[in-house]
Amino acid sequence: MRIGVSLEYSGGFHEAVDRVVELEKAGIDIAVVAEAYSFDAVSQLGYLAARTTRIELASGVVPIYLRTPSLLAMTAAGLDFVSGGRFNLGIGTSGPQVIEGFHGVAFDAPLGRTREVVDICRRVWRRERLQYAGKHYQIPLPADRGTGLGKPLQLINHPVRERIPISIAALGPKNVELTAEIAEGWQPVFFYPEKAASVWGQALATGGAKRDPALGPLDVIVGTSLAIGEDVEDRLAWTKPQLGLYIGGMGARGRNFYHNLATRYGFGDVANRIQDLYLSGRKQEAIDAVPDELARGISLIGPRGFIAERLAAFADAGVTTLLVRPLTADPAEAVRYVEELLALYL
């Protein structure tokens, strides 16, 4: 299992990169930069590429609706170039709350668009003259929809690699099945090791049965919060605002993927309560309603012995890349947490 770090959406980016540089020397394998309705991930990944030398870099994730497939491919090739072949492209659909609410773009056909985006990216990296007649993307644009002057083009530059690894953020059964079929990696959220197989096992098996062997084994990339010590129980509460926001507020009733996931984990009644509270404006009560069991199950918070047990649980559940987010305001403590985790695992 590879060990890496994920950088926050907002605030303190330069300080976070300073820690990544230090942790690269300590032995981490990868650093991931997220993108939501925050600063874009691409500019920050370019900065991170200039500050690091060995570790892999990845987006976690860039939404497919916000860039054309060709631009996604160009961007990934550019980041792979400036990092010397160290970039992994993490993509996802995000959700209607962000795509429609912040960007004003219709959230439609997530499965079909994801499949076509992956296909187009790989064609661009192979420097094919791009002719694509998909259901959702047509390149060049047909004459009846444009000027008729568009001609097939190929990427001018020669990419460092013609196959840049792609990971997909997916939660629903069909999305996970598609990911297991076509992507090098999978980025689930709120991963609960003991419950993962019952939620995603069938989808992973179905998609894996259609998988091209050339893709290699699926890289299961999981993010989790981290605090190691005998006196870190209070950090469990630090995980709950995000859970409360996502389960309660990231989508309307019936269209909240994270609420659905909590329900599939067996927390349906409390997920409904969190959503009721959050959507009625009682956000702190929604956060307080997040159960300790859920917060603890998806995190690495506790003394060294407990952390070792949880590491084994993540590995047994098939996790191959573990991205940690230290729960501390002290930069030195953040580094210490990760170094202790590396010592426990390695």
Q: Is residue 25 part of a domain?
A: yes
Give CA separation, 229 vs 45, 234, 293, 300, 314, in Å: 31, 11, 19, 11, 19
Cα separation, 310 vs 222, whole angstroms:
13
**Host domain of residue 109:** 2-227+299-343
Q: Is residue 269 part of a domain?
A: no
Cα separation, 59 vs 93, whole angstroms:
13
Q: Is residue 232 part of a domain?
A: no
Q: pLDDT at position 145, please?
A: 85
Please state, as a whole number, how many other Cβ atoms lie within 10 Å of the Cβ of residue 189: 18
Q: pLDDT at position 169, please?
A: 97
Q: Is residue 262 part of a domain?
A: no
pLDDT (tens digit, 9 = 90+) per residue, 93-152?
A: 998 889 999 999 999 999 999 999 999 999 999 999 999 999 999 999 988 888 888 899
Q: Is residue 28 part of a domain?
A: yes
pLDDT (tens digit, 9 = 90+) per residue, 135-186?
A: 999 999 988 888 888 899 999 999 999 999 999 999 999 999 999 999 999 9
Amino acid letter, 334: A
What rounded mean pLDDT belongs to the chain? 95
Q: Is residue 35 part of a domain?
A: yes
pLDDT (tens digit, 9 = 90+) per residue, 206-248?
A: 999 999 999 999 999 999 999 999 999 999 999 999 999 999 9
Cα separation, 222 vs 321, whole angstroms:
6
pLDDT (tens digit, 9 = 90+) per residue, 31-74?
A: 999 998 889 999 999 999 999 999 999 999 999 999 999 999 99
CATH number of the domain that residue 42 is part of: 3.20.20.30
Task: Kindly tell me the sign of the dihedral angle through the C-alpha atoms of 94, 100, 105, 111.
Answer: positive
Q: pLDDT at position 115, please?
A: 98
Q: How many domains does the chain have?
A: 1
Say if residues 287 and 240 touch (Cβ distance below 8 Å).
Answer: yes
Q: Nearest 5 degrees, angle CA 287-CA 104-CA 44? A: 70
Say whether pTM exceeds 0.75.
yes
Q: Is residue 113 part of a domain?
A: yes
Q: Is residue 248 part of a domain?
A: no
Cα separation, 221 vs 107, whole angstroms:
25
Cα separation, 249 vs 256, whole angstroms:
8
Say if residues 136 and 113 touch (Cβ distance below 8 Å).
Answer: yes
Say if residues 263 and 248 touch (Cβ distance below 8 Å).
Answer: no
Residue with tokens 């996790």: 319
pLDDT of 9 above 70 = no
